[in-house]
């Protein structure tokens, strides 16, 4: 029996097939992108946390150098030494303070906390307070104070991230050491078992030789 077929059915089925294939390809593509981003996020976060405490203090250091030159009348080289040296001191103080807090080391917390406090006070006075005394508006002064806090925030984030990475590396080294010790113990056990098998084999061979000698002697006498 012949059936009347609509010629558009083939076109409709073809279009549906193409759409279905394209949809599956797009889903696989976006799933792959999502997985790549998920795997890259920890490394990207670690990279940002590592770069920020070294990049973010640079404009603050130039700002401090400009303020020292303007308010104190210092030469440019001396003002730059103050600006960059102060930011280096702040980075070390805040990172060490985070380490001391995580280790619950009270003497170190007091010492590095005092250094970090002096750093922040000096930074805010040189940049914000002197600008206020020169007639700057309050909103401008508040922005300067917030800018002066940015290096400390980035240094604390870097210190915490650094301790996290160090803990992960230490755990990986410990696991690798334990795995190496496990392999060494297994090889040692294999050598012991192999030596025991050799001793047992040698004993069996000697026993067979001892059993063969009387039989050979008896045969000789009979002949």
DSSP symbols for 149-175: HHHHHHHHHHHHHHHHHHHHHHHHHHH
* Domain ranges for the chain: 8-47
- End-to-end Cα separation, the chain, in angstroms: 103
pLDDT of residue 118: 93
Q: Which of 32-46, 159-173, 203-217 has the highest mean pLDDT?
A: 159-173
pLDDT of residue 211: 58
Rounded Cα distance, 159 and 161, in Å: 5
Assign 38 a pLDDT band (cuts: 50, 70, 90). Answer: low
């Amino acid at each position: 029996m012949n059936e009347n077929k609509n010629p558009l059915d083939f076109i409709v089925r073809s279009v549906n097939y193409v759409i279905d294939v394209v949809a599956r390809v797009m889903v696989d593509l976006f799933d792959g992108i999502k997985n790549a981003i998920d795997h890259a996020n920890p490394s990207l976060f670690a990279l940002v946390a590592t770069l920020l405490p070294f990049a973010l203090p640079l404009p603050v250091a130039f700002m401090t150098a400009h303020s020292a030159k303007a308010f104190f009348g210092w030469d440019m080289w001396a003002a730059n030494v103050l600006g960059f040296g102060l930011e280096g001191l702040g980075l070390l103080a805040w990172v060490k303070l985070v380490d001391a807090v995580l280790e619950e080391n009270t003497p170190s917390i007091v010492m590095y906390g005092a250094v970090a406090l002096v750093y922040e006070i000096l930074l805010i006075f040189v940049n914000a307070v002197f600008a206020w005394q020169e007639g700057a508006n309050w909103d401008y002064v508040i922005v300067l104070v917030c800018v002066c806090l940015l290096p400390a925030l980035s240094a604390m984030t870097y210190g915490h991230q650094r301790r996290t990475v160090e803990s992960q590396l230490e755990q990986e080294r410990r696991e690798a050491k334990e795995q190496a010790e496990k392999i060494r113990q297994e090889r040692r056990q294999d050598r012991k078992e192999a030596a025991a098998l050799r001793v047992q084999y040698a004993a069996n061979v000697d026993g067979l030789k001892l059993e063969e000698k009387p039989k050979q002697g008896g045969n000789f006498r009979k002949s």
